[in-house]
Each structure stands twice: as C-alpha cells, then as structure tokens.
Amino acid sequence: MADEPIAGLDPAHQIATMQVFADLAASGRSTLVSLHDLGLAARHCTRLILLAEGGILADGAPEDVLTDTLMARAFGITAWHEQTPSGPVFQPLEVL
C-alpha cells in the first residue's frame, strides 16, 4: 500500500517505482497505490478506482475508467488517450 509514492520523483524514478508495483502485482501480490498521475496509472495499473463526487465514480480497467465522459465529470478536463506498441498513453489536455 502506497500513498502518492511517485510524488516529487523525476520521470525515470516515477516509471521505475511504478514498475516495482506492477512486478509485485504480476507475481501474485496485491498492491494498492494512490495516484494523481493518470498517465502512469493508465500504463501500470490493471484496475483503477476513480473517486469523485464523494464516493466511487468508476471501478474497472483503465480503458473503462479513463473515458472522456468520466474525466469531464470527475475533473472537468478533456484528455487524449491511445494504445501504442509500448502500452497505453493518457494525457490530460485542457480544462472544460
């Protein structure tokens, strides 16, 4: 369990830290990580729980949670997302 483990880290260490959690999960261990970086969450997590409006707004795979509709509702933003050969990419774009 980790609360914002990548806060204050440079990009290389953010990615390395998230890979540690992904490796732990892949080995059968449970991991629970609180993040505000939705791009890293999209790339390294298999399940996301989106908290907004005083409770759980969405729970599921990143592609099911990081939708345009849910991003607008939870954060008032637009976002760009794409599946690439290196994995998913998610980038918040602008405030609505």
pLDDT at 72: 97
Domain ranges (residues) in the chain = 2-95
pLDDT at 95: 97
With DSSP H G I counted as helix, E B as strand and the rest as coil, what are the percentages for the chain, rounded to 5? 35, 35, 30
pTM of the model: 0.88
pLDDT at 30: 93
Q: 62 is written with which tokens?
A: 């990143």
Question: In whole angstroms, what is the distance from residue 33 CA to residue 42 CA?
Answer: 13
Neighbours of 26 (CB within 10 A): 11
List the pLDDT tens digit at each of the 96 positions of the chain: 999 999 999 999 999 999 999 999 999 999 999 999 999 999 999 999 999 999 999 999 999 999 999 999 999 999 999 999 999 999 999 999
Q: Catalogue the E-assigned strands of the chain.
A: 2-3, 33-34, 48-52, 55-60, 77-84, 87-95
What is 2-95's CATH number, 3.40.50.300, 3.30.465.10, 1.10.645.10, 2.60.450.10? Answer: 3.40.50.300
Question: In whole angstroms, what is the distance from residue 6 CA to residue 67 CA?
Answer: 23
Question: In whole angstroms, what is the distance from residue 37 CA to residue 35 CA?
Answer: 6
